Structures are given as structure tokens and as C-alpha cells.
Chains A and B, each alone.
Chain A
Amino acid sequence: MIINHPLLGPRDASEFTYLGDASLIDRPDWQAENVSEAFYEYGYLRDNPAGEHQELWYHEAGDRSWLVVTRNTLTHEISKVELARDVARARGRSK
């Protein structure tokens, strides 16, 4: 596989480490009312789509960027690669 790193261009997948569903960015608020339920879902429940999937890859043998890669699980086509930091900000994460 080749991942088109937003800063570094196309890089071989062997430079990366895979984590999983990019929903891991959406960590619940620790003071939320239903905090146990929210963390249970966050920690254990994942969608398993046959098709487009947003997932986290880490450029471990490179610049150490975490990336959100949009990959089709059926074809392995990668349609989008973003810096996870940008995605996290867009999803409302800050400090």
C-alpha cells in the first residue's frame, strides 16, 4: 500500500503503524453524565463498514504524524489523507 502523506507525499505503508477507527479521536468528556456508557462505547464499539472507512495511521518510521486515512475496505482505495491534528480540531478538540 502507498499512503499519500499530506506533508511528505506518497510513502510506503511499511513506514506506518496502524491503530484503527478514527473515532478514537472522539474521546468523551470525563465529566459527562453518562460517562461510563460513553467510555464503554468509545473503547469497545466500532463500526465495521464494507466501504469507506476513516482510520488512524502513524508515520512511525517517518515524521511521527498521526494521519486520518480514508480507505475503502473493499478495494483498499485511499481517497483522502489528512493530518489527524487537523481532523481533531475540525471535530472540536482543543486542549
Chain B
Amino acid sequence: MTQTNRLNGGQIDRNTSLSFKFDGRSYTAHPGDTLASALLANDVRLIGRSFKYHRPRGLLTAGSEEPNGMVELRTGALKEPNTRATTIEMFDGLEAKSQNRWPSLKFDALAVNDMFSNFLSAGFYYKTFMWPAAFWEKLYEPMIRRAAGLGALSQEADPDEYDKGFRHCDLLIIGAGPAGLMAALTAGRAGVDVILADEDFTLGGRLNSETFALGDHSASDWAAQAVAELSSLPNVRLMPRTTVIGAFDHGIYGAVERTGDHLASVPAGKPRQILWRIYTQKALLCAGATERPIAFENNDRPGIMMASALRTYANRFAATASQRVAIFTNNDDGHRTAADLHAKGVTITAVVDVREDAPTCYDYEVLKGAQVIDTKGRHGLTFVEVALADGSTRTLESGALGVSGGWNPNVHMTCHQRGRPVWDDALAAFVPGENLPVGLSVAGAANGVMSTHGALQSGAEGAANALELTGVLPDLPEAEDAPVSQTPFWYVQGCKRAWVDQQNDVTVKDVKLSYQEGFRSVEHLKRYTTLGMATDQGKTSNITGLAIMAEVAGKSIPEVGTTIFRPPYTPVPIGTFAGRMKGQEFHPTRLTPSHYWAKERGAVFVEVGNWLRAQWFPLPGETHWRQSVDREVRQTRASVGVCDCTTLGKIDVQGTDAAEFLNRIYANGFAKLAVGKTRYGLMLREDGMVMDDGTAARMAEDHFVVTTTTANAVSVYRHMEFARQCLYPDMDVQLISTTEAWAQYAVAGPNSRKLLQKILDPEFDLSNDAFPFMACGNVTVCGGLRARLFRISFSGELAYEIAVPSRYGDALMRRLMAEGEEFDVTPYGTEALGVMRVEKGHAAGSELNGTTTALNLGLGKMVSKKKDSIGSVLSERKALVEPDVLRLVGIKPLQPEDKVTAGGHLMNSEGPVDAAHDQGYVTSAVYSPILNSNIGLGLVKNGAERLGETMRLVSPLTDLTVEVELVSAHFVDPEGERLRA
């Protein structure tokens, strides 16, 4: 038995059959169906269980505003929970599952919640689970999370590709219903660049759901013709399956195009969805309107739907929820549904109209002045109870009930920049307010123009006005122009369990209760009851909630106020926002000039910001990283090692004021630095904390080469540009980042001079007298290759840094290795670099952590008081110069094999171990193969005066307590004899 509720007509391709599965059962459908219409055609009304009470639920709507009909779509890693069945375009092989039920949709164990509904009313979390506090984390929250849920995630990585793109136009039209199509025709024929976006896969909006005519055509034919004409215009871009999700500043709109969701599988390399950023001076919102429900007792049974949705399913999809349908309405639109369904052969059991003066019909019964007071049916509607005008009751045997409470303009996008909609009394609805996003105007039903003729006209005028088009507007087809007035009727009096927000299970009673409990502001009401806070943002429920609150408060709806909508208009998968920025592509990867050489050597790499740096270079037979690192340190200190330090930031500073500029940037003085000399520079933030350190080499009177740490290369350059442009605008100084222009290698160790001399061209003298410690200069190597040479040392050894143009970096490293063979040269990575700088007591990233001053680091005397420099004044604040401020010390365990833990805290040798008695902490920890001991650097209160003291190093997280001695931070060569050798 298939498709028992399939009607005649509709915009589906009956020549092709598609098969799909819902909860494991196979059904058939046709192209043009949504999952929702296909389920209805197959007589499936029960789709899921509700959020809180686990009540059986079906579809409420036929569009993206759907609160109930959510499923898990697809399987395995492709599984996507909380997908609205009403927006899923059918494809062959589709698989979907109901969610929030256990063990099965028809028998759900947690439906017991429904019986305890008295305890689960508004704010029940706050009231019930208050005490004891410890229970919240361990018991209540996990329990609630299990019970109150939506679909489950696949727990696997999303295998789909996503992309991002940019588009520009003169006019963006949001929504392709009658107003949007007419606007696009108007603007398109005028030759301007137009983008017409609509969330649906068929453009036309409600024209595809209606039976009335536009001129000589059916509404859907007219829409198809309009689309055909627009497709032929080169200046018009049609974007179906595209939801404009937000209106952002300065004419930027976000849009999600679903390029692959309607396919059984996305072709390899193609994106599933694209996040577009659309730039436009003008936009026209033609988002239509959403029908609103009326709340009554047990109004959430499967089969109870919006009347307009029933009409859409019948006219567009040729499907009905039942062969026996009742209508409950407060306006003429409900009657339109009855007439259309009747024409399709569906039995209308009655139209229940709350109005005494409802229109009469001779094809089926109209119950005037009547109201639905209850419904029956466990897993789907069976009977509708009606209170008639005379006070008697009637029971209508119906499998579906169409509810129409009037229409709300879709004002969402008008609120995205603080705009507040205003109440329209004639329409009894909110319409767009005055304060719209700049460049956005609104047309059609979204602007409260409810007739088809009105929509066409306002679309044409909206486009013409936005673009300031002159001349005659296009002819409009003749269309229905029924006057629309809506008399509000929000809920049936006396009902107890009448749902307002079906997705978050909020009832009329909950709204009233929260008011009684003192929640007067709409925003509080929302948060207390969770009304409108589900994934549908209350598209079908907010106004009803407000109306009930207004009634209880004895105020009008505009007096109660309204909440506004935020982007995105409909939920967006997180992968769409990520686009291609995932995994290895999360950020760009920067490779050092010696990267490919290092890879050949089997180096182990580490991510340092965007850079990949060699961490160590294992040799055959080395199985533990420590073996490699210890060897690299020993070999370097015994003979010579080479390390790629290209990643350090390099900034060229030129101009007659370059020296004075550096004087302001660095805490220590640079004005008197001689040409051919390098100096360590300490850079402070204006608040007196250390920002960065590095070296500045004076290559010429008006030319310095500045280095920064790898981590701060970007921020230091930004800071220097700030100083140059904003603080010292008339200084003659120019900056350029040359980090990627020069490949730079540290050559360190007692044999470093001998090694370098081999590659240096003969006219350059490297002797200690000619090129002493801290010298710098332009040289040539390997027969004429220009290079920069600096005699600086991070390791504490006799050492140089040599820079050549980047494209020679690989060759230079290979040459150094070849020439160094006779000295047993070793490359070393960032680990050995770290070990040697800790042994030498140089502060680095762990010490320059944003909370340390020069004084903390033992560099207090460097801050010159004879000149103006950034940070100098605030570095003298009282609390920063107290005698017991933290000072950098070396840390050595009494037992060399005891581990020093970075992040561990230091306590006095006696006394309590707690935060109040904290003496400082360990910033860096390494194993020193030179001292055969674990060692560390740390910051200790008044540490400089406490050398020799024994302290306890504790790490409560790992239950560690180690006895350590405070020592000088300069473990190796404290007098600096080696580096001056």
C-alpha cells in the first residue's frame, strides 16, 4: 500500500518514482516532494517526540518555520540531527529517522514525562533541581540532558566539503514569491545587477501553493514563466536553495546556498553548502508571511497543522494528511484551504470559524461562532471536539485539522540591526518598523501587504524605489486583491494544555504562570519559559506568547513589547561557517627555507604559530626524543650546531631618525649604538609589562635590522607602525617586514667560527678582534652571495647568525652541513634550542608571558630613565617595584633525576602548601645534558636575594612535591666567556 494520501495534480514528477526510508521502513515518493510531503502522502503523520514531554508530534507547517517535524537525516558520519522534514528535498535512497524517542517512536518510555507535566512547568529546572547544589552537575544535568533532547550527533568528523564565496550586486532580493519575482523582473529588465535568493528549491513562494490565477495563467505557471525570463537575463543571478541568513553592517548579507543537500551524495570535490557574503548597496526583503496558530486544548497532535500548510501540501505536493479534514480559523484564509482541499476530493468535516459572521459555504458545513475545545487521538488526530455558538458541543471525526490564526509578516531580517517591528492594528500583527538596516526596504507580505496584487505591485515599486528607476513600471498581471483584515484570536479560553511553542514544549499555562511569578519583561518571559528559544526562533509561537502575556497583564501587545530576531534566519551547520578552514587548512602553514632539507633528514616537526619548525633530528638508533635532543645539545656545545631561526620576526628600520625611533620603542638606549654593532633590545608595552625582546643591528647610520620573537613578529610590527604613524608622525623612519625575505641560521658552538670562515668569502675576517661579540655586517659567502652576519648568541656559545636571501636558504643549509662534516656539525631543533637557552638563563616566551616586567626578569636596569620610551613610566608603578616582586631564578632539584614541572608552584621548605603561601612558579623546565640534571627557570618572590634557598616545588594536579634549590639562572658559563671567545 503506497501513497494512500496522494491527491491529483501538484508540481511533482509522477513519471519518476523515488524510494526512501523513514525509521527503517521503505516508502516511495516523486521528484518535487519534500520528505514531509512524501511522509504525508504515505499516511505517516507521527514524525517525532516532543522536547520535554515526549508527546507524539507530526508536522505543523510546510516550510522552514517548522518547529516539530525534525528528523535525523542520512546515516553514519553524514548523519545530521534536527533537520526539518519540511525543507528536505526528496532524493532517491534518502534515509531519515525520528528522534528524541526511546525505544521506538510509537512507544517512548519517557512519555511518562507527560504525566508529570505539573512538575515540569515553566522554570521547573530552577525550582526542582535547586538543591543540593552538588547534585546538579553529577545527577540532574546529565539526567535532564538525556531526557530533554533533540537528535543525536554522529560523533564523527563531518566528511562533507564546505566553501565560502563573495558576490556583489546592485539589488539583492530576498525571497522569490510574487513580490520578489516582480521586483526582480522590474530591476532585471532595467539592466541592473540583481541577485534573487530563495530558500526553496522551486522559486515562486506561495504562488506554487495557490490555485488562483495571475492574468491568464495559474499562479505557479506565472511564477515559472517569470523565472524563465529572469534566467534569460545576463544581469540577473537566481539563487534557489539559498537562505539569506542575516543582514550585516554596511550592506553585507550572509547567505547559505545548499548546493549538495538535495543529492544522494555530493560529487567528490564539490561543496555541500556555500556560505556567501553578498555585498550590495540595496536590498529588498520579500520574505512573505508565516501563518500563526490558535492555541487550544491538545493542539499538538499529529495531524493538527497550519491551514496554509495543508493547502501547500495539497496544491503543490498533491498530498494530504488525511482524507477527512477539519478547519479551525478566525479569518477568511482558512476557508480558502477548505475550498482547495474540497476541490481535490478531500472531505471537509467542517470549517470551525470563531466569527459569528463567517462566510457561508454550500459544499461543506461552516460552524460559525464555534471553537475547537479539545482533540483526541493517541498517535495522531482522530476526533475534534467543537463548542458551537449555542453552547452545545460537536465531535468531528477528522484525521487532520487545519488551523489558521492569521498571518505574521516575516520581519526577521529587519531586526538584525536593532530594528524593532511595530504593531499594526488593522493587521493585528507586527510589521517592519522605521529603523531598518541601511539600504534595506521591504515589499509584499513581509511589509504587511497581504493580497497577491498588492505583493506584485509593492515588489515592482520596491525595486523601482530602491534603484531610483524612472519610467513606467512593468505591467502587473491581474491577481486576487481581497482585502485582508485580521481579528486577533490567540487561544481558546479555558484550555489548560494548549501548546504555544511546540519545539520547546511551552504551553499557554506556562506563559500565564511565569507572569504570575513576576516575569514582566518579554525578555524574562522568554528565558524563563524558553518560549521562542528553540531552533525555529519561535517563528510560529512568539506572537501568540506575547498576546497571552498582554492579556494577563491587561495591556495591549505593543505595550508588552516584542523580542527581536537575530541571525541566522534558519539554523546553519557549523561546517558551513568553517568552510575550508578545517584540519590542516584551519590556518595557512608557513615552511622554513630549510624545511625540505630537514624533512630529508627525518626531522620531527612542531607547529609554532603558523610555522612548522624542526623540533629535533633523530639519527638511526635513537628511539627516544631525549636521546636526539641531548646529543644535539652536547654536539653543539662541544663543537658546532646549526639551527634554522628564520621564523624570528625581522624588521628593517631605515631613515635618519631610525636610531631615535628605536630609542622610543625599546626600553634600553639605541641612540649611541655604533654602526656594525648589535644590541639586545627590550620592548615594553605602555603599561610597563615586557612585550617582546630581540636584537637590533646597526648596519648603517640610518639602517637597523630588528629581530622579534617568532610568536610576536606580527604584533611587534603592528606596534612599531602604531608608534611611527600615531605617536611620531614626523620622524623620518620607514619600516618593512623582511621575515620571509631572509633565511637565517644560528651557527653555534666553539667551532662555529671555523665553520663560517670556510664559507665566508676570503676578504672577510672573522677573528675575534675583527668581528667581536655583538658585531654585525654585510658580507658575501660562497663566492659572492650577499649575506648578513651577526655575532649574537642565544645558546651561550660562541655563535653567529647568518642570513641570506630566502631562495638560497636551502643551499646554504646543505653547504653548512657539508663543510661542517669535519667538525662533526649537527643540526639542532627547537628542543635543543630551548634546552640551551634555559641552561644559559635567557628569558623566552614562557617568561615573556604578558604579566612580567623587566624587573621580574632581572633586566630592570635596562629600562633607561634618561629618555622617553614606551612603557617606561608605568613600569615604575608602586606595585611593580615592591621589594618582594617575582624575580627570575634558576631551579635545580636536590636529586638531579627529580622532575621539574613547568607550571608547578614554589613553596617555602616549611609551612602550609596553599595559595596564600605561594612563593612563585616554574616557567620553563628542561633536562640539561651538560649538568646531567633536570633544571628550570622560575619566578620567585624576591628570588634574586634567595639564591641557595631550598624550596618545595609542588604540583597539586599531579601530586608532585620535589625539593629544589634556587640558583642563578645562568647555569652555563655565567661570566659569558664562551660567547666572547
Contact = CB atoms under 8 A, between A and B. Distances in A.
Contact of B249 (A27, A58, A76): A76
A80 interface: no
Contact of A36 (B252, B657, B725, B873): B873
Contacts of B727: 25, 27, 88, 93
B726 A43 contact: no
Say which size band chain A's interface belongs to. 35 or more
Nearest to B727: A27
B68 to A, nearest CB: 37
Contacts of A1: 248-250, 252
B690 to A, nearest CB: 15
B729 A2 contact: no
A29 to B, nearest CB: 8
A50 B943 CA distance: 47
User: Which of the listed residues B417, B660, B687, B727 has the most CB atoms from chain A within 10 Å of its own CB?
Assistant: B727
Interface in B664-712: 686-687
Contact of B251 (A2, A24, A86): A2
A43 B686 contact: yes
Contact of B725 (A27, A74, A85, A94): A85
Interface in B420-455: 438
Interface string A56-95: 1010100011100000001111100001111111000111
Nearest to A86: B729
B874 interface: yes
Contacts of A83: 725
Interface string B833-872: 0000000000000000000000000000000000010001
A1 B649 CA distance: 30
Contact of B718 (A36, A58, A75, A78): A58
- Chain A interface mostly: mixed
Contacts of A2: 249-252, 279
A88 B251 contact: no
B722 interface: yes
Interface string B709-743: 00000100010011001111111000000000000
B663 to A, nearest CB: 11
Contacts, number: 81
A89 B418 CA distance: 37
A78 B874 CA distance: 34
B702 to A, nearest CB: 15
A93 B728 contact: yes
A42 B688 CA distance: 13
Given A2-B251, A27-B727, A76-B249, A39 B722 contact: no
Contacts of A75: 417-418
A30 B872 contact: yes
A88 B874 contact: no
A25 B251 CA distance: 31
Nearest to A3: B250
Contacts of B729: 85-86, 88-89, 93-94
Interface string A29-61: 011000110011011000000000000101010
Given A36-B873, A60-B718, A66 B249 contact: no
Contacts of B714: 60
Contacts of A40: 874
A84 B725 CA distance: 7
Given A30-B868, A40-B874, A56 B686 contact: no
Contacts of A43: 686-687, 874
Nearest to A89: B729
A84 to B, nearest CB: 5
A92 to B, nearest CB: 10
B186 to A, nearest CB: 27
A65 B729 CA distance: 12
Contact of B730 (A42, A58, A64, A94): A94
Contact of A19 (B250, B722, B868, B876): B722
Nearest to A88: B729
B250 A25 contact: no
A76 B249 CA distance: 7
Interface in B237-277: 248-252
User: Which of the listed residues A17, A24, A64 has the most CB atoms from chain B within 10 Å of its own CB?
Assistant: A64
A95 B731 contact: yes
Contacts of A84: 725-726
A39 B725 contact: no
A76 B416 CA distance: 13
A39 B874 contact: yes
Given A19-B722, A58-B718, A58-B721, A95 B250 contact: no
Nearest to A64: B721
Contacts of B252: 1-2
Nearest to B874: A39
Given A43-B686, A88-B726, 10 more contacts: A36-B873, A39-B686, A40-B874, A66-B721, A66-B725, A75-B417, A85-B729, A87-B726, A93-B726, A95-B730
Cβ-closest 8 pairs across A and B? A30-B868, A2-B250, A94-B730, A39-B873, A85-B729, A66-B725, A88-B729, A1-B249
Interface of B: 248-252, 279, 417-418, 438, 657, 660, 686-687, 714, 718, 721-722, 725-731, 868, 872-874, 876-877
26 contacts: A2-B279, A19-B722, A27-B727, A30-B868, A30-B872, A30-B873, A39-B873, A42-B686, A43-B874, A56-B722, A66-B721, A66-B722, A66-B725, A75-B417, A75-B418, A83-B725, A85-B725, A85-B726, A87-B726, A88-B725, A93-B726, A93-B729, A94-B728, A94-B729, A95-B657, A95-B660
